[in-house]
Amino acid sequence: MRFSVVIPAYNEASSIGALLESICAASYGSHALAEAMVYDDGSTDGTATTVSGLIERFAAIRMIRGERRMGCATAVETLLREAANEAIVKINADIAPDAGALEHLVDALDAGAACAVGAANPIVSRASMVSLASAFSFETVERLKRGPHLYRYATGHLVAYRRSVLGDLNFPAALINDDRYTAEQIARSGGRCAYVPAARYRVKTAANALDYWRISRRVLEGERQLERIGITRAPLSSVLSAVAVTALRRPLRALPWAALYIWSSLRSSPTRDSRWPIATSTKGAF
């Protein structure tokens, strides 16, 4: 299959170059990279300059520049609309896909999946209460992905879609959790989501409490926003079961996670729209 890669980016100068180079230099077996589109969401650093320089080297790269920051959902909606191929792989600019990860996702689409979800490998660069708690969160979500509520955890760090199942996808105003909303529409239309554990990617854990709070509250507010339009969460029993099993495997990560989860949940949200404050400690090259 020919496929498009789409990357929403806001102040990703330290990582976007290496990511695009790795994508454009890789081989994809029976599949072919047709385009790699970046939406620069009004970045104030050198993101656009870095991408512009790579456009001169790699014909597949395109860039769409927003005049001002609108939030990730606007970037993703624009990219999904502009992508020219049936297979679309969405990648967050601050992750590093392992070799073969994109090929495995497109394989799943080629085999009939409407949505294919990659597997996170959280990188703890320095063991601290916050980074261990963040890693525990990632591991719990990975466990939930393996169960019957996958489409509720089709997180957009690395996820692929069939264009034909997206239809005329129009996001609600100020949408926070675009990937959850997209997966819900796919599930409601009868499309199948596939978890692809071989499609692994490295992702940085939060390294300070404020970043953990920003990420945790973004998830929580996104779920509350979706509930107001009739999109329900996974049953609490399933979530608690995943937490319990992960805690048995990772007790030293479970304790700081519980403390930080309570602390972050008691704090008010920094904003209630898609222009969420950036979590700086999760950014940068690996």
Q: What is the pTM of this model?
A: 0.95
Tokens of 194: 């596939």
Q: Taking the mean position of all CA atoms in its chain, how far away is CA 139?
A: 15
Amino acid at 62: R
Measure the CA–CA gap between 37 and 79, rounded to whole angstroms.
7
- SS3 for 96-107 is EECCCHHHHHHH
User: Is 227 buried (19+), middle (13-18) or exposed (0-12) by CB count in 10 A?
Assistant: exposed
Q: Strand 32-40 to strand 61-65: parallel, antiparallel, or no bridges (unpaired)?
A: parallel
Predicted pLDDT at 285: 83
Q: If the chain, 286 residues long, is cut into consecutive pieces of 10 residues, what is the mean pLDDT of each piece?
A: 97 95 95 97 95 95 93 94 95 96 98 97 92 97 94 91 89 93 92 96 96 94 94 95 97 96 91 90 88
Cα–Cα distances in angstroms (integers) from residue 267 to residues 61, 174, 175, 227, 263, in the given order: 41, 21, 21, 20, 7
Give yes or no for a contact between 75 and 8, defined as CB atoms under 8 angstroms apart.
yes
Q: Within the chain, what is the greatest distance between any pair of CA atoms?
A: 52
Give yes or no for a contact between 89 and 5, defined as CB atoms under 8 angstroms apart.
yes
Measure the CA–CA gap between 275 and 277, rounded to whole angstroms.
7
Give yes or no for a contact between 207 and 115, defined as CB atoms under 8 angstroms apart.
no
Cα–Cα distances in angstroms (integers) from residue 133 to residues 54, 159, 259, 266, 269, in the given order: 36, 24, 9, 16, 19
Cα angle 42, 207, 252 (rounded to 5 degrees) comes to 145
Give yes or no for a contact between 191 and 162, defined as CB atoms under 8 angstroms apart.
yes
Cα angle 26, 101, 189 (rounded to 5 degrees) comes to 125
Amino acid at 221: E
- Encode burial over 168-196: b for 16+ CB neighbours within 10 A, e otherwise: ebebeeebbbbbbbbbbbbbeeebbbbbb
Return the CATH number of 2-275, one of 1.20.1440.130, 1.10.20.140, 1.10.260.40, 3.90.550.10.
3.90.550.10
Predicted pLDDT at 168: 79
